[in-house]
Amino acid sequence: MSFSIFASGAANGKNFHYYREDCIDGDDFEILDLVSTLTTLEQTIEAVAQATTEKIISKLIPGSAPDGMGTIAFLEFLHTLKDQIDSLAMCDDSANGRISVFTKQKHTFWADDLGNGTYYFSPGTDPGTEFVKAIGASLEKTDMNNWGVLRAMVIVLTLYSDAVGQSGKPMLTIQLEK
């Protein structure tokens, strides 16, 4: 499943915009695992039944290589996201800045799930961790707490950090939609 990201804000008196559709999600390693399983199958009904049973068990008891790759990717992008927020917190006027994140997960037959979180840069002891805590519930509520979303946010924050520089005030809104 994919999602879109839109970001807008002010960067030293100039407008900052970023938009991208079809961003990769956390499901990609599951597809790799399925392809790997299908290429090694014997073409018999018993082999297909055994592979299906193993797939179900691997979902109930995680620990396969794709699960490990997804976990490593999640942790790496989380660390990079934290570093980008820490970098923005070092801007001269960051104490008056903020980053808002709005999330939306669409549903066909029932109401959409919506979430939001805002982090204010008023000096704290660990800005990156405080940012993740501020937006975490929103990401969980809309099923966007995965490495693909973190990756997209890292890209946006890197581009925004370059646009703001060290003398600006971070003011950014990020919208994620699945």
Cβ-based neighbour number of residue 78 at 10 Å: 17
Cα separation, 164 vs 11, in Å, equals 5
CA geometry: angle 163, 169, 172, nearest 5 deg = 70
What pLDDT shows up at residue 50? 61
DSSP state, 14?
A: E
The domain locations on the chain are 3-26+65-177, 29-60
What pLDDT shows up at residue 168? 82
pLDDT, tens digit (0-9, with 9 covering 90-100), for 147-177: 889 999 999 999 999 988 888 889 999 999 9
Query: 98 in helix, strand or coil?
Result: strand
Task: Please check the confidence at residue 60 and state whether its pLDDT lies above 50.
Answer: no
What pLDDT shows up at residue 44? 58
Q: What percent of the chain clears pLDDT 90, i.e. is strictly above it?
A: 35
Cα separation, 98 vs 134, in Å, equals 11
Cα separation, 32 vs 160, in Å, equals 32
Cα separation, 38 vs 148, in Å, equals 25
Give 45 or 86, the one with higher predicted confidence. Answer: 86
Q: 3-11 and 98-105: which strand pairing?
A: unpaired
